[in-house]
């Protein structure tokens, strides 16, 4: 009697549960900002190497990125067909959640210790099934740093880390279960105005006030919000407003992020913001430089993969809202969006506060409370459940050529829209 590969997968994740919990807690208790995740990089790569994966540390020329891969060629010597390949993403950067200067409070305010461990668990499960049931294919775990800042997935995409994959998937912790989460695209601009310094009391007419340009641009952005779509977002901070109140600021700077759920809307916002910055410079006599430092694309959920993942989660007791409700629920942004414009992918959310889907009042990501909850035993249990569904979906990519083709066909169709 032939054993069920899915059963083998689930048993492998259960067997590794204690080690996975330990891994999650290590990442949780050593929070590190983007591109500085040195402890996480070493801890996870050692973990994967010890379990039979071929590990490329410092992948793609990025110090805290990695690729861990397992390939099984199968026992048929004449089978020269391309290997079906599935990827999972792990994230592990933390957030600055409070304080300032040398007293910044770091924490896993977005639960990346859980994302990291979920990717590991999914890869372990698929590998176990491949080994025991002689399943031909490739499973790849991608360690993607700095999701909260500049986005490690973008350069990893450009440098080939995702090449050859039929699908790439990840899951994200949250305050409720969402199958069709719709993260927005986001751009980040750094703006610097330059004027002329002068004494603010004895000769202000000699100066050109760079802070005035910032204030004018900031207020104009506030007016622009009224005219933008409900799905758009714009938010700014002033990063340099001058050095002393009695000096006309020669240099002032700000950072703006803008978001939309369609690329054309994202591009329109970008152009409108550039017009505002130029107008403020002209009105105040300043010069302005604008640098785009980040761009995440809107996420495209592949419905073939999403529905299969949802079926597995539903079989384990999870209940979802309709797709229409999911896609209109406010969301942030992620560099996983860039991945889903290159190959089929998904990015569902699992509730860390309840196995029954009950929402905890006041719990939201990017908070100290969420960082605290991300280290609980309950959060680990909900993550393991979701990681099992993710892993089973990945196994189907390797086992079912028609399923994989349907996912690819839908992806190609979505690119035409």
Dist CA 325 CA 289 (whole Å): 40
Q: Which helix (H) or strand (E) holds 236?
A: strand 233-240
Nearest Cα to Cα of residue 180 among 328, 368, 351? 328
**Helix crossing, 5-15 with 112-133: angle to 10°?**
130
Give the per-residue pLDDT at 328: 79
Domains and CATH numbers, the chain: 5-183+299-416 (3.40.630.10), 185-294 (3.30.70.360)
List beta partners, residue 346.
169
* 92 vs 33: CA distance, rounded Å: 9
Q: From residue 201, how far is each of 198, 204, 247, 282, 284 by CA, in Å?
A: 9, 6, 8, 24, 19
Phi, psi angles (nearest 5°) of residue 91: -120, 155
Q: What's the half-sphere exposure (Cβ side, CA atoms, 13 Å) at 392?
A: 23
First to last CA, the chain: 47
d(Cα 271, Cα 254) in Å, to the nearest integer?
A: 17
Express each pLDDT in 309-363 by its tens digit.
999 999 999 999 888 888 877 788 999 999 999 999 999 999 999 899 888 888 9
pLDDT in tens, the chain (417 residues): 346 999 999 999 999 999 999 999 999 999 999 999 999 999 999 999 999 999 999 999 999 999 999 999 876 665 667 899 999 999 999 999 987 777 888 999 999 999 999 999 999 999 999 999 999 999 999 999 999 999 999 999 999 999 999 999 999 999 999 999 889 999 999 999 999 999 999 999 999 999 999 999 999 999 999 999 999 999 999 999 999 999 999 999 999 999 999 999 999 999 999 999 999 999 999 999 999 998 999 999 999 999 999 999 999 999 998 888 888 777 889 999 999 999 999 999 999 998 998 888 889 999 999 999 999 999 999 999 999 999 999 999 999 999 999 999 999 998 766
- Please tell me what DSSP assigns to residue 286: -
Percent with pLDDT over 90 in the chain: 87
DSSP 17-34: HHHHHHHHHHHHHS---T
User: What single-letter DSSP state applies at residue 289?
Assistant: E
Instruction: Kindly report, residue by residue over 66-77, the tens digit of the pLDDT.
Output: 999 999 987 666
Distance of CA 28 to the CA centre of its chain: 17
CA atoms within 13 A on the CB side of 86: 32
Between CA 89 and CA 347 the distance in angstroms is 10
d(CA 95, CA 107): 6
CA distance 179 to 19: 27
Phi/psi of residue 184, nearest 5 degrees = -80, 155
pLDDT score of 329: 77
């Amino acid at each position: 009697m032939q054993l069920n590969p899915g059963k083998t997968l689930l048993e492998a994740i259960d067997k590794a549960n204690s080690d996975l919990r330990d891994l999650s807690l290590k990442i949780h208790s050593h929070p590190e900002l983007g591109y500085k995740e040195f402890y996480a990089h070493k801890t996870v790569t050692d973990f994967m190497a010890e379990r039979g994966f071929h590990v490329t540390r410092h992948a793609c020329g990025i110090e805290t990125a990695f690729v861990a891969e397992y390939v099984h060629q199968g026992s048929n010597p004449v089978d020269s067909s391309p290997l079906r390949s599935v990827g999972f993403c792990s994230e592990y950067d933390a957030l600055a959640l409070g304080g300032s200067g040398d007293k910044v409070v770091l924490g896993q305010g977005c639960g990346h210790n859980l994302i990291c461990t979920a990717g590991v668990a999914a890869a372990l499960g698929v590998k176990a099934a491949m080994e025991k049931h002689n399943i031909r294919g490739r499973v790849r775990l991608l360690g993607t740093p700095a999701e909260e800042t500049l986005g490690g997935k973008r350069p990893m995409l450009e440098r080939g880390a995702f090449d050859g994959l039929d699908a790439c998937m990840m899951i994200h912790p949250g305050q409720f279960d969402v199958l069709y989460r719709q993260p927005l695209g986001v751009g980040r601009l750094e703006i610097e105005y330059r004027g002329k310094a002068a004494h603010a009391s004895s000769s202000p007419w000699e100066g050109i006030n760079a802070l005035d340009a910032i204030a004018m641009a900031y207020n104009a952005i506030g007016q622009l919000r009224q005219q933008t779509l409900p799905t758009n977002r714009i938010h700014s901070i002033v990063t340099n407003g001058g050095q002393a109140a009695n000096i006309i600021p020669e240099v002032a700077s700000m950072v703006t992020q803008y978001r939309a759920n369609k690329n054309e809307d994202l591009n329109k916002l970008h152009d409108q913001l550039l017009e505002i910055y130029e107008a403020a410079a002209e009105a105040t006599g300043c010069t302005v430089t604008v640098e785009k430092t980040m761009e995440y694309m809107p996420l495209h959920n592949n419905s073939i993969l999403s529905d299969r993942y949802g079926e597995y989660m539903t079989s384990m007791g999870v209940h979802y809202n309709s797709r229409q409700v999911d896609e209109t629920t406010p969301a942030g942004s992620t560099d996983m969006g860039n991945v889903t414009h290159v190959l089929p992918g998904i990015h569902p959310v699992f509730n860390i506060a309840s196995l029954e889907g009950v929402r905890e009042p006041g719990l939201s990501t990017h908070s100290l409370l969420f960082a605290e909850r991300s280290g609980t035993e309950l959060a680990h249990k909900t993550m393991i459940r979701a990681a099992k569904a993710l892993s089973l979906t990945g196994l189907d990519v390797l086992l079912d050529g028609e399923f994989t083709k349907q996912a690819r066909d839908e992806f190609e169709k979505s690119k035409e829209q």
